[in-house]
């Protein structure tokens, strides 16, 4: 990694950390479980690194196999994480719309 | 750069923006779900971008991995009950971290020789964090599921052993940093990190799981961020860092809610050695009959339910909502008091109650509800113990002294639903149970609550 790229990456890291702190401090305790499973699903972004390992040019078969395992686990993380987060958030929204409908 | 690469970079940028917007949406239950759709879109874009922009030559492994992962992931998303949410999340941390660790190993296999010093450092971090999070999360999931004994596992010289393992791991890391050709050292580092993850979590009791879960969440994110540094990929850095900081903030909040430091949680082995540190609690616990309890509830003006982990184990969330609705139909004001560390992960109780259709507007945080206890007629404690232990406030010698609690003992009367006379999970005696205003209703929380509901109907 050349120095310019490294410095840019450190900037990205620092700004993302700051942004993350700002955004996540505003999440109410009510939603902490969905928050955790959502950020967990988002960190399944290592899937894109796994995809490269599993299929890109210039990697040996053993790397492809490692990549296959990584793609599988990262996909479980992404699909499972988003799926269950949505299931939870649906429950938090549900009651409100019901009462609204009843009021009308 | 050719067109495909530009396309890929564009999808990464879009994904990064969408992830941030998604987390911003999490600030309110109304917008949270829409936010998640954005994140899903971002993830999809990043995957498509990668498949287009990288020189993919072998599709077999990719398609196989994506399909197997999707099937297992969807199965988990659909079938895991809400009460098992902590285990599922821990398991998911393990999967995400394992992916990061494996990507690190793959990069080592292929690019170890032409990596710069910084990239090698990041690779070391990625592999270590990924590996220790994998095993640590598996142990946490095992403890939460009850497959592994939940009490802290400790032995003589544990901290010395842990320190030795830690130093060995760091030693391998430094050696690999200087000598990238030393394959055996790299793999030793990987192996030691797996062992270290186990050692890190086995001494921690189940009651401290909210902190551990948050920390593991943070580690999994930081492992992904380190992957970003290795691959020179900004979306990995951004998404990983967001996750890392989210976990960190949650762990700090959880520690505050227990008035303990992170080091104390990690190395304190809470709940193992406190037998003699108990309070001056003593006297008799007064038992109450179902009918008397129902009578109290039916003629109260204000009732506050205080759920704890016992609610989750008894799967009593629907039963409590039915009882609450019955009381509300009689004109009783019903609220729920949620302690930040009630349950086994941050926000655990909120999710369970939401599942049972309790509107989130009647869930109250500790700071909001505490001033209301003096004007509360009946506080119903359901399977909660430490979070309502007045010793934390009154007895400076108590092991949980200074931990903020729900002050149910200030209510006019307290009914404690408890499985039996034994001490709670932490093994700590709770003076609340001996107070004059407190009465105990023994039995399984779910059946107690539904019997209470029946009894209230007949009042």
* Interval B47-102: pLDDT, tens: 999 999 888 888 899 999 999 999 999 999 999 888 889 999 999 999 999 999 99
Taking Cα atoms as reference points, which of B382, B377, B397, B398 lies closest to residue B448? B382
| CB of A12 closer than 8 Å to CB of B212 | no
Taking the Cβ of residue B11 and every Cβ of chain A, the question of whether any pair is shorter than 8 Å is answered with: no
| A45 is a domain residue | yes
In the beta sheet, which residues pair with residue B307? B382
User: Can you tell me whether residue B166 is helix, strand or coil?
Assistant: helix
What is the distance between the alpha carbons of residues B434 and B286, in angstroms, rounded to a whole number?
7
Which of B26, B59, B96 faces A44 most closely, judged by CB atoms? B96
Taking the Cβ of residue A21 and every Cβ of chain B, the question of whether any pair is shorter than 8 Å is answered with: yes
Other residues' Cβ atoms within 10 Å of the Cβ of residue B302: 17
Mean pLDDT, residues B314-320 taken together: 91
Is the predicted pLDDT of residue A85 greater than 90, yes or no?
A: yes
Overall size of chain A counted in residues: 104
Overall size of chain B counted in residues: 459
Q: Which of these is catalytic: B386, B391, B409, B444?
A: B386
| CB of B335 closer than 8 Å to CB of B304 | yes
Domain range for A96 is 30-103
The string of DSSP letters for A53-80 reads HHHBTT--HHHHHHHHHHHHHHHIIIII
Structure tokens that stand for B345 in this block: 């992960």
User: Can you tell me whether residue B218 is helix, strand or coil?
Assistant: helix
Which of A23, A58, A89 faces B36 most closely, judged by CB atoms? A89
Residue B380 per-residue DSSP state: E
How buried is residue A84: exposed, middle or buried, by Cβ count under 10 Å (0-12/13-18/19+)?
Answer: buried
Residue B137: its H or E element = helix B117-145
Which residues 108-127 of chain B have a CB within 8 Å of chain A? 109-110, 116, 118-119
Number of domains in chain A: 1
* Interval B182-237: pLDDT, tens: 889 999 999 999 999 999 898 888 778 888 899 999 999 999 999 999 988 999 99
Taking the Cβ of residue B81 and every Cβ of chain A, the question of whether any pair is shorter than 8 Å is answered with: no
Binary contact (A49, B227; C-beta < 8 A): yes
The string of DSSP letters for chain A reads --HHHHHHHHHHHHHHHHHHHHHHHTS-GGGHHHHHHHHHHHGGGHHHHHHHHHHBTT--HHHHHHHHHHHHHHHIIIIIHHHHHHHHHHHHHHHHHHHHHHH-
Could you give the percent of chain B with pLDDT greater than 90?
57
Is the predicted pLDDT of residue A55 greater than 90, yes or no?
A: no
Taking the Cβ of residue B88 and every Cβ of chain A, the question of whether any pair is shorter than 8 Å is answered with: yes
Structure tokens that stand for B90 in this block: 């821990």
What is the ipTM score, two decimals?
0.91
User: Can you tell me whether residue B84 is helix, strand or coil?
Assistant: helix
Is the predicted pLDDT of residue B161 greater than 80, yes or no?
A: yes
Backbone angles phi, psi at B301, to 5 degrees: -90, -45
Binary contact (B73, A78; C-beta < 8 A): yes
Report the chain B residue with the minimal C-alpha distance to residue A29.
Answer: B347
B425: confidence class by pLDDT, cuts 50, 70, 90: low
Contacts of B403 (CB under 8 A, 6+ apart): B257, B258, B259, B260, B386, B392
Mean pLDDT, residues B18-25 taken together: 94
Structure tokens that stand for B47 in this block: 């995957």
* Interval B67-79: pLDDT, tens: 999 999 999 999 9
Residue B284 per-residue DSSP state: -
Is the predicted pLDDT of residue B272 greater than 50, yes or no?
A: no
**B315 Ramachandran zone, left/alpha/beta (phi>0; psi -120 to 50):** left
pLDDT of residue A100: 44
Taking the Cβ of residue A91 and every Cβ of chain B, the question of whether any pair is shorter than 8 Å is answered with: yes
Is the predicted pLDDT of residue B271 greater than 70, yes or no?
A: no
Is the predicted pLDDT of residue A99 greater than 60, yes or no?
A: no
Which of B73, B89, B350 faces A30 most closely, judged by CB atoms? B350
pLDDT of residue B9: 92
Structure tokens that stand for A81 in this block: 């994480």
Taking the Cβ of residue B21 and every Cβ of chain A, the question of whether any pair is shorter than 8 Å is answered with: no
* Interval B299-313: pLDDT, tens: 999 999 999 988 988
Taking Cα atoms as reference points, which of A74, A56, A89, A77 lies closest to residue B22? A89
Distance in Å, alpha carbon of A104 to nearest chain B alpha carbon? 18
| A59 is a domain residue | yes
| CB of B35 closer than 8 Å to CB of B25 | yes
In the beta sheet, which residues pair with residue B414? B379, B438
Sign of CA dihedral B345, B158, B273, B151: positive
Binary contact (B39, A82; C-beta < 8 A): yes
| A91 is a domain residue | yes
Structure tokens that stand for B433 in this block: 């149970």
Is the predicted pLDDT of residue B156 greater than 80, yes or no?
A: no
pLDDT of residue B134: 96
**Longest alpha-carbon distance in chain B:** 79
Domain B279-458 has CATH 3.40.50.170: no
| CB of A82 closer than 8 Å to CB of A43 | no
From the candidates A19, A33, A58, which should be mutated to test the interface with B, based on the most B CB atoms within 10 A?
A: A33
pLDDT of residue B427: 63
Chain B residues closer than 8 Å to A78 by CB? 43, 69, 73
* Interval B373-421: pLDDT, tens: 999 999 999 988 888 989 888 888 887 888 899 999 999 999 999 887 7
| CB of A41 closer than 8 Å to CB of B93 | no
In Å, how far are B88, B147, B179, B203 from B343, measured between CA atoms? Answer: 14, 18, 46, 19
Structure tokens that stand for B118 in this block: 């910084």
Residue B381 per-residue DSSP state: E
Q: What per-residue string of b and e applies to B132-159 under the rule 16 or more CB within 10 Å gives b?
A: bbbbbbbbbbbbbeeebebbbbeeeebe
Residue B386 appears among annotated catalytic residues: yes
B270: confidence class by pLDDT, cuts 50, 70, 90: very low
What is the distance between the alpha carbons of residues A73 and A38, in angstroms, rounded to a whole number?
16
Which of B46, B217, B347 faces A39 most closely, judged by CB atoms? B217
In the beta sheet, which residues pair with residue B364? B337
In Å, how far are A93, B138, B288, B308 from B322, measured between CA atoms? Answer: 19, 36, 21, 18
The domain ranges of chain B are 1-79, 87-273, 279-458
């Amino acid at each position: 990694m050349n120095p310019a790229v490294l410095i840019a990456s450190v900037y990205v890291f620092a700004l993302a950390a700051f942004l993350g702190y700002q955004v996540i401090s505003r999440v109410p305790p009510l939603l902490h479980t969905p928050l955790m499973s959502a950020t967990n699903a988002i960190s399944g972004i290592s899937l894109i690194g796994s995809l490269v390992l599993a299929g890109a040019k210039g990697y040996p078969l053993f790397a492809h196999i490692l990549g296959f395992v990584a793609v599988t686990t990262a996909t479980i993380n992404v699909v499972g994480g988003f799926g269950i987060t949505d299931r939870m958030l649906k429950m938090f929204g549900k009651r409100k719309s019901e009462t609204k409908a009843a009021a009308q | 750069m050719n067109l495909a690469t530009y396309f890929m970079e564009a999808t990464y940028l879009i994904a990064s923006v969408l992830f941030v917007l998604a987390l911003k949406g999490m600030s309110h239950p109304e917008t949270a779900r829409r936010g998640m759709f954005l994140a899903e879109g971002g993830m999809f874009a990043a995957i498509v971008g990668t498949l287009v922009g990288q020189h993919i030559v072998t599709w077999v492994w990719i398609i196989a991995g994506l399909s197997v992962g999707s099937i297992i992931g969807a199965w988990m998303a659909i079938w895991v009950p809400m009460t098992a949410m902590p285990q599922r999340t821990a398991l998911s941390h393990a999967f995400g971290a394992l992916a990061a660790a494996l990507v690190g190993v793959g990069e080592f296999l292929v690019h170890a020789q032409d990596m710069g010093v910084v990239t090698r450092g990041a690779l070391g971090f990625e592999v270590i964090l990924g590996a220790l999070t994998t095993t640590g999360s598996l142990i946490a999931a095992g403890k939460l599921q009850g497959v592994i004994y939940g009490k802290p596992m400790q032995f003589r010289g544990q901290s010395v052993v842990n320190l030795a393992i830690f130093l060995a791991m760091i030693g391998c890391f430094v050696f690999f940093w200087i000598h990238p050709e030393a394959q055996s050292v790299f793999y030793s580092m990987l192996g030691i990190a797996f062992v270290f993850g186990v050692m890190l979590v086995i001494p921690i009791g189940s009651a401290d799981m909210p902190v551990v879960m948050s920390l593991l969440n943070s580690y999994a994110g930081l492992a992904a961020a380190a992957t970003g540094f290795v691959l020179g990929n900004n979306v990995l850095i951004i998404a990983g860092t967001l996750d890392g900081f989210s976990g960190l903030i949650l762990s700090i909040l959880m520690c505050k809610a227990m008035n303990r430091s992170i080091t104390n949680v990690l190395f304190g082995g809470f709940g193992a050695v406190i037998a003699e540190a108990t309070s001056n609690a003593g006297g008799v616990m007064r038992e109450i009959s179902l009918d008397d309890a129902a009578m109290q509830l039916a003629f109260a003006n204000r009732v506050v339910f205080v759920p704890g982990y016992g609610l989750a184990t008894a799967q009593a969330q629907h039963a409590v909502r039915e009882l609450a609705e019955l009381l509300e139909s009689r004109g009783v004001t019903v609220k729920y008091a949620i302690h930040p560390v009630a349950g086994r992960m941050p926000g655990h109780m909120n999710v369970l109650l939401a599942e049972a259709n309790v509107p989130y507007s009647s869930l109250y945080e500790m700071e909001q509800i505490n001033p209301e206890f003096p004007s509360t007629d009946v506080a119903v404690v359901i399977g909660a113990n430490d979070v309502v232990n007045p010793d934390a406030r009154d007895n400076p010698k108590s092991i949980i002294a200074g931990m903020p609690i729900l002050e149910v003992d200030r209510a006019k009367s307290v009914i404690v639903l408890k499985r039996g006379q034994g001490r709670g999970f932490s093994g700590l005696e709770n003076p609340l149970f001996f107070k004059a205003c407190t009465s105990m209703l023994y039995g399984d929380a779910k059946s107690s609550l539904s019997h209470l509901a029946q009894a209230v109907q007949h009042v």
